[in-house]
Structure 1
């Protein structure tokens, strides 16, 4: 009987392994096919299944000479996925009772004293603020304070809007609040309280001095975007779009987040960040606290896409079963929603999700 049970278990394990190999092979073939069809020079994908990284791989090359293959540690500009880190940092300060979501921004930033804009409104893109001020090159020497002053000058004195308007400005201001409250730079606080606990290997922000620049170059229709047309690195925009990262580091952070790991936040805080707050203009999608949330046939979904000139990215998570997809590319033409849907279908067909 013991030998029979052992044989059955061994046979079952082989079948599971074979299905896993088959699904991963199908996934790799599909991803490489869609990469070449869409002229995506470099792409990296990580899949988290039941809280563990089940698949992670780089595709294509990071250089024009096609000599350096993309890996799971190749650095990309992840664009607006950066906002999720800013949101977690704000919630860390809420846990520490150093600020409240209902506090007005003017309590922490002099430039916004005359406006009744709350921290929560910034987190949910319901402050009424638009992206009137654009990023500039670090070499131009514009300080974060100068940026904030420019923003405050564009706000109507009677600004009272509570309607949804997605805006980088909201999160750039949150970054300045973090710095004001902690007495540290935004970048230092994020690294010490989120990136370091996640044990990232390479991720960080460019600060004008360090080497944290993307290893992949921005492209459009397979062609490198001219330097003059590339999105500049601007310190004031680090909280909304500045993190330079890779799928390995992001998968380690997302594992902790989906697992409600206390090294970053408390369980109730993670859960509170997923509560729908403000209806967006994107169908049935709601803004939660940083996350964009909705329901589909697979349950609750939490997401955040990222897009700047020459880069497209996506984090798509199913918090209830701790499944997630991370996609990073250096192309403006990436069909990221189609890719995420196809990844999900491939895994579901093989009963991995």
Structure 2
């Protein structure tokens, strides 16, 4: 009898959890169907109705920002910044940008290269003396061709210096030297090179080179004291249920993915760089990846996916599309990337 009672309680509890998960997922879908804030002070761009239809169909929880010829033509926020409190998203909300951070790190490195303070053909050990692996150059890091294995930091370490030591002690796979093999460790090492060259912290470099000159109003490092008010927490859809993804250990990802930004701020960075002719849109023999972005036929792209948030940008000299999302469907990681592609071809 007691076993039957326990079994019955387990069944009831399981059904209750499933119901609450389903209810939460249904509430998410409903929120995305009814919550859409479109700024009305711009003329409707070409493809305006088609873009709205794409967003309606996608069920996106996040933001879309579009610039064309350097001007903001479309901005939308859908869903909630906090689903528990049902706090709607707005254009000041900041998302963890994940690996899109590498584009910002790449800007710092490229500036120092242009100033002839970094020679990309020199070994990394020239700038980080205890690195070893003299066969690995700075350019190998920039292109993810170093042969360094995946970066998997232990939870016991803290800060950039400890991250660098972890990478130094990690395996090197010569099979992937001079072949594309993505590793956060490459850009963490680049962040340390920036510090060693400038004798300033990576954060100070970022503020002085990008945040302040470009007047980024909604961009902060993960540990900024005033981030909480506008920070968006990521969530994953796992088997139909919404599960919150708590971002922890971000101090282990300087240079690779610990900055929070609004989609608009990121679009402004790219627009500023376009105005400075930073990107090469004409050369045909560009590497697959360099300075934090992928070279594609006719456009560039960068994508960050980290702790239930997604940050995607497609851009060329004429148009910039930035999509952010705080809900990621773990069964379909390409869903939002495909949405950006559809928007890009619509414009």
Partner of 2:76, secondary structure, is: strand
Change in CA separation of 1:141 and 1:157 when aligned onto 2, cut-off 3 Å:
closer
Q: Is contact 1:274–1:291 with CA below 8 Å preserved after alignment? A: no
Structure 1 unaligned blocks of 5 or more: 1-16, 261-266, 279-285, 348-353
Alignment correspondent of 1:330 = 326
Q: Alpha-carbon deviation of 1:273?
A: 11
Distance in 1, Cα, partners of 2:127 & 2:345:
47
Change in CA separation of 1:160 and 1:60 when aligned onto 2, cut-off 3 Å:
closer
Number of matched residues? 300
Distance in 1, Cα, partners of 2:341 & 2:126:
43
Aligned positions of 1:255-274 closer than 5 A: 255-260=271-276, 267=277, 269-271=278-280
CA RMSD after TM alignment: 2.8
Alignment correspondent of 2:341 = 341
Distance in 2, Cα, partners of 1:34 & 1:112:
46
Alignment correspondent of 1:93 = 112
Alignment correspondent of 2:144 = 125
Distance in 1, Cα, partners of 2:120 & 2:294:
18
Aligned positions of 1:99-138 closer than 5 A: 99-134=118-153, 136=155
Structure 2 unaligned blocks of 5 or more: 1-40
Distance in 1, Cα, partners of 2:50 & 2:256:
35
Q: Is contact 1:120–1:289 with CA below 8 Å preserved after alignment? A: no
Residue 289 of structure 1 pairs with residue 291 of structure 2: yes
Change in CA separation of 1:277 and 1:318 when aligned onto 2, cut-off 3 Å:
closer
Q: Is contact 2:250–2:257 with CA below 8 Å preserved after alignment? A: no
Alignment correspondent of 1:196 = 212
Q: Alpha-carbon deviation of 1:233?
A: 3.6
Residue 34 of structure 1 pairs with residue 58 of structure 2: yes
* Offset from partner CA, 1:106-141 (integer Å, 9 cap, x none): 1221331443211111010000011242363xxx55
Distance in 1, Cα, partners of 2:175 & 2:204:
32
Partner of 1:62, secondary structure, is: strand
TM-score by length of 2: 0.78
Q: Alpha-carbon deviation of 1:312?
A: 1.6
Alignment correspondent of 2:34 = none
Alignment correspondent of 1:210 = 225
Partner of 1:189, secondary structure, is: helix
Alignment correspondent of 2:160 = 144
TM-score by length of 1: 0.76
Of the three residues 299, 304, 307, the one matched with 1:306 is 304
